[in-house]
Amino acid sequence: MLFGSRFSMHFDYTLILLILPIICTSSFLLNETSQFLLVKQMSYCFLSIFIFFFVFFIPFRYTDKGTTAFYWICIFLLLVVEFAGTTNLGAKRWINIGGFSLQPSEPAKIAIVLFLAHYVKNNPPPPEGYGWIEFCKISTFILLPFIFILIEPDLGSAIIVLFMGYGTLFIVGVHKKIWISCIVFILLFSPVAFKFILKPYQITRIMNLVSGNTSSQVQQSIIAVGSGGITGKSKTESTQATLKFLPVATSDFIFAHFAERFGFLGSCILLSLYGFIVLHLLSCCFLDSKDYFLKVIASSLAMLFFIYTTVNIAMTIELAPVVGIPLPLLSYGGSSFVTFIILIAIFEHAITFRFSSHANHNKSHKKYNVFSKSK
């Protein structure tokens, strides 16, 4: 009975109500494009329901050692990719285990979020924010997976890891002098990174974006977005997607497909949904100023939604180079979809059971006081 009341009172229904229209819209678009992909995506959705409830009941606040082990397992898997990974389209990003293909960068994102949540919970920042020592420690755990993912190469996932990690630190609290120093370093180091770190094809994509010499897939995407007009087109009139002019219309460029079908007004509604998700998650960061575990989980998930959405839509309308980042919960694909569902389940657990953690903390504190008096 106690669990039932806690579940009904503190479970965050708002986030669920915000993501359901996006998932339903994904099924609608896939139904128009490919029945085969629709069946596969629906299987991911049903699987995710069981995964959600399984993850939801894991007591993440008390799994410090397990979280640390999970983090280093993910680092090991990223390292395995370099030596025994499967190459596809010029990039080593997958590991074949039997008949199953695993992309380690996806569980690595979950591992980073949980690791940061436990580290910040156990080492909360002072009022003025983290200093250089703690900042460098945390940076090590962010940059390590970032480097391995960048080497694959997977620039899109590497960017996500970097911005998610440091975006979360910005919300948690780091001394402003450190941020100023980091900005100066980035400005000075950017030419070196552009010359010696980025791959030739990545440099070509950036140069083509700057010069306006975009690829044919981006040009077709822009045509699809523009042809949708104010209210969109019917299925028979949406020639860009139905006649296969628009490449990867079910995953990387699904926003262009959506814009062609539902137009400017539909696109505004979709962007508003993503915007409300980000703002709602950020608002949850301030429910309890001392609950750093919830703050890290909520801010990390907000950063992921923001980065994925911004980069995906920007690359479909020629504002960013194409880096293969899907639109959260809308694009076809199991890896990204399951990753977001797991992180949403972790967030729901953190917010639903946040008061029980306070009760356990107060109980142990009282116990300590009793022993102190007896002495």
Three-class secondary structure of residue 356 per DSSP: helix
Clarify whether residues 64 and 191 are in a common domain: yes
Clarify whether residues 207 and 191 are in a common domain: no
Among 69, 156, 64, which Cα is nearest to 117's? 64
Three-class secondary structure of residue 319 per DSSP: coil
What confidence tier does 152 reach under pLDDT thresholds 50, 70, 90? Answer: confident
Clarify whether residues 190 and 254 are in a common domain: no
Clarify whether residues 210 and 310 are in a common domain: yes
The answer to whether position 187 is within a domain reads: yes
Q: Which domain holds residue 185?
A: 59-197
The answer to whether position 356 is within a domain reads: no
Three-class secondary structure of residue 228 per DSSP: coil
End-to-end CA distance of the chain: 39
Clarify whether residues 152 and 167 are in a common domain: yes
Alpha-helical (H) ranges within the chain are 2-10, 13-33, 35-56, 64-84, 105-122, 132-151, 155-172, 176-196, 200-211, 216-227, 239-242, 254-284, 292-316, 334-352, 354-374
Clarify whether residues 230 and 140 are in a common domain: no
pLDDT in tens, 158-180: 989 999 999 999 999 999 999 99
The answer to whether position 212 is within a domain reads: yes
The answer to whether position 160 is within a domain reads: yes
Clarify whether residues 70 and 187 are in a common domain: yes
pLDDT in tens, 238-280: 878 777 788 778 888 899 999 999 999 999 999 999 999 999 9
**b/e 141-160 (16+ beta carbons within 10 angstroms → b):** bbbbbbebbbebbbbbbbbb
pLDDT at 99 over 80: no
Among 203, 94, 112, which Cα is nearest to 155's? 203
Contact 249, 316 (CB under 8 A): no
Clarify whether residues 69 and 138 are in a common domain: yes
Clarify whether residues 284 and 226 are in a common domain: yes
The answer to whether position 334 is within a domain reads: no
Clarify whether residues 181 and 248 are in a common domain: no
What confidence tier does 82 reach under pLDDT thresholds 50, 70, 90? Answer: confident
Clarify whether residues 63 and 180 are in a common domain: yes
Tokens at 338, concatenated: 């399951």
Distance separating alpha carbons of residues 25 and 40, to the nearest angstrom: 15
The answer to whether position 85 is within a domain reads: yes
pTM: 0.88
Least confident of 287-296, 355-364, 365-374: 365-374
Domain tally for the chain?
Answer: 2
Domain edge (last residue) among 182, 197, 212: 197
pLDDT in tens, 303-335: 999 999 999 999 888 888 888 789 999 998 888
Clarify whether residues 223 and 137 are in a common domain: no
The answer to whether position 54 is within a domain reads: no
